[in-house]
């Protein structure tokens, strides 16, 4: 188990980094294999803009 510094990584150990990498890769694979309907880019960006605007007004 190698300890990592904040300059090297956001994770405390190389094992933590490897575990996150495995989790993230599995999540991406599931998303790519999904048969759920896709959301168009413009629609996602509009939803993100609405969230940002809502928080900006607070």
pLDDT tens digits, one per residue of 3-45: 767 777 788 888 888 999 999 999 999 999 999 999 999 999 9
**Residues near 3 by Cβ (< 8 Å), separated by ≥ 6?**
12, 13
The reply to whether 35 falls in a domain is yes
> For residue 20, what pLDDT is reported?
94
The reply to whether 48 falls in a domain is yes
Number of domains in the chain: 1
What's the token pair of residue 44?
């996602």
The reply to whether 40 falls in a domain is yes
The reply to whether 28 falls in a domain is yes
Tell me the residue range of the domain where 20 lies: 14-56
Q: Quick check: helix, strand or coil at residue 35?
A: coil
The reply to whether 24 falls in a domain is yes
The reply to whether 1 falls in a domain is no
The reply to whether 3 falls in a domain is no
> For residue 13, what pLDDT is reported?
85
pTM, 2 dp: 0.60
Q: Are 17 and 26 in contact (CB under 8 A)?
A: no
């Amino acid at each position: 188990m190698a300890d990592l510094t904040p300059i090297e990584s956001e994770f405390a150990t190389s094992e933590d980094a490897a575990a996150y990498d495995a989790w993230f890769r599995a999540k991406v694979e599931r998303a790519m294999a999904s048969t759920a309907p896709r959301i168009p880019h413009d629609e996602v960006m509009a939803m993100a803009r609405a969230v940002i605007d809502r928080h900006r007004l607070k």
